Amino acid sequence: MTSQGYQVIARRWRPKQFDELVGQDHIVQTLKNAIETNRIAHAYLFVGPRGTGKTSTARLFAKALNAEGGPSTTPDDSSEISQSIMSGSCMDVIEIDGASNNSVDQIRSLREECQYAPTQATFKIYIIDEVHMLSTAAFNALLKTLEEPPSHVKFFFATTEAHKVLPTIVSRCQRFEFRPIADAVISEKLSLIAKAEGINVEEKAVQAIARLANGGMRDAQSILDQMISFCGTTIKEADVLNVYGLVGIDEIKLLAGAMAALDFSQVIDLIDGFVDAGRDLIRVHHDLVEYIRSVLLDAIRAKGTSSLLGTEMTTASIMRMSHILQKGETSLKKGLSERSNFEIILLKASEESRSLEIDGLIEKVIASESIDQKKKHG
């Protein structure tokens, strides 16, 4: 720990160059091309789930545009302007929280400040986080400036809820969609961080953290930070499962296999074990839905069937199972008894997955008997 206090992993490992930004290659490539061809727009809208790199990208882009000697895709990290932008102390790169600076008066003040030239950088850049929180009046006050800003001004907007941003604002911006980051990409990055930090983390523990992060790199880094505080220099999968009430992927596969085999007794026994161990059933449900999706994709690739569940199932059967599981999410969260609702959802999903197949077999038997009768009387 330094004399200035501990800095969390998410801040220490914030990307300093475009190449360090993981999981958003399509955005990195587009912004690099814009810089290299000098086709830099005056306003950008970064849209996507939390923790996927929207604000980090805005800072990196601001640093690239204000690089010494002109815009560069690889600005010098050691330069004074680069360091001040990344630390948030640059007077010409102004970060604004849309949730707490959303009044029309504050936007009018911003509009007046735009007219003044930057003091130390090439461009004056406004990064407005959670821009959807601005009031309608504030949006309208920004419109004219956004349409015809001074040549030295750039706007970078970030939001998790793009549908709340006025269409008149969106139409004046270049829009970039940030995707949830793949679990494999998160796992790889966490392993790299752990190695650099001198932490020994089991591969399955890293995978469990990645699952828990739901596509957010910042969330994954925060979870890793917490696990280091809890476990010290060695982190095992069981530690992550116990702290966050997760179920291991092997147990998820076992549960899905029992459902496919219509082994209702094993399904109930597994749920009992999860409850006794203090596992989060809503999280178990989420992970089960994700696993069934992977089985469905396997069936589609195999032209109609999959044996991943230990029982050969058709695409239609897996889809019915997935449909019931997804329909049950609301009742699981809002019902009076989480455990009872979870049991019913899983048993119903198991039964529904086979119901139409059984109906089809009955119809075939009836049709076959009808043909036999006709032959006898023919």
Strand partners, 97: 129
Question: So what's the pLDDT on residue 363?
Answer: 56
Same domain, 256 and 236: no
Is the same domain home to 30 and 160?
yes
Same structural domain for residues 137 and 202? no
Lowest mean pLDDT among 65-69, 100-104, 157-161, 272-276: 100-104
Q: Do 33 and 168 fall into the same domain?
A: yes
- Among 177, 192, 212, the domain-final residue is 177
Does residue 139 belong to any structural domain of this protein? yes
Total number of domains constituting the chain: 3
pLDDT band at 25 (very low <50, low <70, confident <90, very high): very high
- CB 262, CB 351: distance < 8 Å: yes
Residue 377 lies in a domain: no
Q: Per-residue pLDDT tens for 107-154?
A: 788 888 888 888 888 899 999 898 888 878 888 888 878 888 888 999
Tell me what percent of the residues of the chain surpass a pLDDT of 90. 54
Residue 106 belongs to domain spanning: 9-177
pLDDT band with cut points at 50, 70 and 90 for residue 106: confident
Shared-domain flag, residues 147 and 45:
yes
pLDDT above 70 for 31: yes
Same domain for 18 and 117, yes or no, is: yes
Residue 54 lies in a domain: yes
Q: Does residue 361 carry a pLDDT above 60?
A: no
Q: Is residue 149 part of a domain?
A: yes
CATH of the domain at 222: 1.10.8.60
- What does the angle CA 48 – CA 54 – CA 58 come to, to the nearest 5 degrees? 145
Query: Is 171 in the same domain as 188?
Result: no
Tokens of 325: 């599981």
Please say which residue of 125, 157, 177 terminates a domain: 177
CA nearest neighbour of 343 among 278, 247, 270: 270
Q: Are residue 302 and residue 215 in the same domain, yes or no? A: no
Q: Cα torsion for 110, 115, 121, 123, to the nearest 10°?
A: 80
Asked if residue 194 and residue 93 are part of one domain, the reply reads no
* 34 & 154 share domain: yes
Among 185, 172, 186, CA closest to 144: 172
CATH number of the domain bearing residue 156: 3.40.50.300
